Structure 1
Amino acid sequence: MNLTRRSFHGAAGGLLLTGCASIRLDTRAAAIAELGSTGKLRAAINLGNPILASREPSGEPQGVSVDLAREAARRLGLPIELVPFNSAGNVVEAVKARQVDLAFVAIDPVRAADTDYTAPYVVIEGAYLVRNESPLQRNEEVDRAGTRIVVGRGSAYDLYLTREIKSATLVRIPTSPEVTNQFIAQKLEVAAGVRQQLEADAMRLNGSGGAGLRMLPGRFMVIEQAMGVPKGRLAAQAWLSSYIEEMKASGFVAAALQRHGIEGASVAPPRAHS
């Protein structure tokens, strides 16, 4: 009797394992169909965010998002096409138009109308840059009448500040990497963007004997960077969600950040399960 019961449970367990494996295979197959509908995986790479990507001396894109895109393509058995963009706004438009199959963008409720996300893989900070002589000392002081904040159009900072700013004025320019240059050229009061980009700009301009710039302490927002797919590609979202959790847990994301010399960004925590 015990032998029969053990045999039954063993067989049932085997069926369950086989079923789980079949589900994983089915999910992967469906993800391949959605992500590789053109015969390749078209991955949008935002060169406007130095945390995510930059160019090698050869001109080829590099960075944590590039590494994640290439590894995803390898696992899916698809050839990779890296599609570079200079701003997050342009990436979002490409996702909306289904000109790319996946993208690396900040999670934002406005973008969710056209994009389905994974959980975040890295968390970065949005910060403010001002001149040394500015009376502004804290992030909370920025939102006042007469203060003009320059920001990259369509960036996570633009979307967030559009919702949050009540009295200051937003000045939108085409790409985030040009924020500091336009801040100086237009004699604006505040520049908003990725902390690392603004710190690098301040160091460059202060070192050249010019601008006299400083960061406001702390951050005005936390930005969760995730992988996204065009709305409705649920199999692709499901497969990429499992993939990104594995990449975080295995140390892949942390190693990529270290390999590319990225400081100030941290690996996002594991996805909370309900």
Structure 2
Amino acid sequence: MNKLSALIAAPLLAGLLLSACGKKEEAPVAAEAPAPAASKIVVGLDDHFPPMGFRDESNQLVGFDIDMAREAAKRLGVEVEFKPIDWSAKEAELNGKRIDVLWNGLTITEERKQNIGFTAPYLENHQIVIVATNSPIKTKAELAGKIVGVQEGSSAVDAVKKDPAGNTLKELKQFGDNVTALMDLSAGRLDAIVVDEVVGRYYAAKKPGEYTVLEENFGTEEYGVGVRRDDTELLAKIDRAMADMKADGAAAKISEQWFGANIVK
């Protein structure tokens, strides 16, 4: 290399060395931390729905579904909070994230499946017809021209409307809860009520001789726990806990306490 070339090359080499020394390696991008697992499940319910969920004489929430939810939460290692809601607005409460699940005798229907996800069914239920014991009504056909009560937002509403006998009623009167509907039946302001079998038979047994359950009903349905459609992880966990409860007899024990028999599906 001649002297001129060396003079030109020296600054270039120095620049390259300085550039190499000054370059810092980029720090690796930290992996996004997984979202912490929920430590509590908020259960939305109608607290006037015995024996599924209601308040006892001490104003404490009790019921079959209350006990089932507590047992499932214990197995999932989370706290459970019960939040009474307006049952007619249950889907809005769930999808608005004010509650995490609907667990209170919730009937699985194709229409509801469009808006919420369901666990596997855990109970089979019927929509029964209750009349006063002295009523002449013996069949669904004899409800023609009569006033029939149902709970607002319940599956009884849809069951009656879908049945041909429902088109013959004088009025389908909706109530905030089944207790008020039964009071109107006892007072003679209603000719009959249509209600979930688990609820209707519970109330009828409390007042023997006052009510009669017709042999015909407005259809069979299944109960499931409702979750948000995108909350697939919670759905899978509850399904697994419920399956374990059925397998080891815990669900049967709870059922026998409330119904006198194992009616868990």
TM-score, scaled relative to structure 2: 0.73
- Structure-2 separation of matches of 1:132 and 1:41: 42
One-letter code of the match for 1:183?
A: L
Partner of 1:55: 55
Question: 2:174 matched to 1:172?
Answer: yes
- Structure-2 separation of matches of 1:205 and 1:57: 17
Residues 77 and 198 from structure 1, CA distance in 2 versus in 1: closer, same or farther, beyond 3 angstroms?
closer
For residues 68-217 of structure 1, the aligned pairs below 5 Å read 68-85=68-85, 88-104=87-103, 105-139=106-140, 141-142=141-142, 144=144, 146-164=145-163, 165-168=166-169, 169-185=171-187, 187-199=189-201, 201-202=203-204, 213-217=211-215
Structure exhibiting the larger radius of gyration computed from Cα positions = 2
Residues 184 and 57 from structure 1, CA distance in 2 versus in 1: closer, same or farther, beyond 3 angstroms?
closer
For residues 235-246 of structure 1, the aligned pairs below 5 Å read 235-246=233-244
Q: Deviations over 1:204-262 (max 9, x none)?
A: 5666xxxx542212533223111110222122222222222222222221111222x32
Q: Report percent identity of matched pairs.
A: 22
Give the secondary structure class of the aligned counterpart of 1:119. coil
One-letter code of the match for 1:102?
A: V
One-letter code of the match for 1:194?
A: D
Q: Deviations over 1:182-206 (max 9, x none)?
A: 2344622211113354345456566
One-letter code of the match for 2:51?
A: I
Give the secondary structure class of the aligned counterpart of 1:177. helix
Q: Is the 8 A contact 1:45 1:65 kept in 2?
A: no
Q: Is the 8 A contact 1:127 1:195 kept in 2?
A: yes
- Structure-1 separation of matches of 2:52 and 2:204: 20
Give the secondary structure class of the aligned counterpart of 1:150. strand
Supply the RMSD in Å over aligned alpha carbons.
Answer: 2.8
One-letter code of the match for 1:170?
A: L
One-letter code of the match for 1:267?
A: V
Aligned residue among 230, 251, 266 for 2:263: 266
Aligned residue among 247, 250, 253 for 2:251: 253
CA deviation after TM superposition for structure 1 residue 142, in Å: 4.7
Gaps of 5+ in 2: 1-33
CA deviation after TM superposition for structure 1 residue 175, in Å: 1.4
CA deviation after TM superposition for structure 1 residue 150, in Å: 0.5
Gaps of 5+ in 1: 1-28, 269-274
